[in-house]
Amino acid sequence: MTGLSLLIPIALGLGLLGLAAFFWALGDGQFDDTDGAAVRILIDED
């Protein structure tokens, strides 16, 4: 039982962290231009 009281909050917390990270990315416009993101890596910056 003591293990559970530690592990369950950790598991839920990690899940929530992922959820928060996704919302952050969504709000930040990371998914607005998926085609562009794929090719931007090829831009030569001198």
Partner 1 sequence: MATKALIPDPATEETTESLFAVPGIHCVSCIAKIEEGLPRQPGIVSARVNMGAKRVAIRHDPALTPPDLRAAIAALGFEAEPLADAGMDVAAAESRRLTRALVVAGFAAMNIMLLSVSVWSGAAGATREMFHWLSALIALPTVAYAGQPFFRSAWAALRQGRTNMDVPISIGVLLTTGMSLYETVTGGAHAWFDGAVMLLFFLLAGRSLDSMMRGRARAGVAALLKQTAPGALVLAADGSSRWIRADALRPGMTILAAAGERLAADGRVLEGESGLDIAFLTGESAPVRVRPGDSVQAGALNIDGPIRVEVTAAGADTVIADIARLMEEAGQSKSRYVRLADRAARLYAPCVHLLAALSFAGWMIAGAGVHQSLLIAVAVLLITCPCALGLAVPAAQIVACGALMRRGVLVKDGSALERLAEVSEAVFDKTGTLTLGRPVPQGLRRLWSDDRSILLALSQASRHPLSVALRQALEAKGVTPAALDHIREIAGEGVFAEYEGLSVSLARPRSLINLFGLAAEYRRGDQAMLLSFTDALRPDAADTLDALRGMGMKLLIASGDRPDALEAIARETRATAIGHLRPADKLALIGRLKGKGEKVLMVGDGLNDGPALAAGHASMAPASASDASQLAADAVFLGDRLAPVALTVHVARRTVAVVKQNFALAIGYNVLAVPLAIAGKVTPLVAAVAMSTSSLIVIANALRLKGVVK
Under 8 Å between Cβ of 25 and 31: yes
Given the complex with partner 1, which of 6 and 16 has the nearer CB atom? Answer: 16
DSSP-derived secondary structure letter, 31: T
Contacting residues toward partner 1, per CB under 8 A: 1, 4, 8, 11-12, 15-16, 18-19, 22-23, 26, 32-36, 39-40, 42-44
Q: How far is the CB of 27 from partner 1 (least distance, A)?
A: 9
Task: Using the structure block, give the residue that is written with the tokens 């899940």.
Answer: 15
Least distance in Å: CB of 38 to partner 1? 9
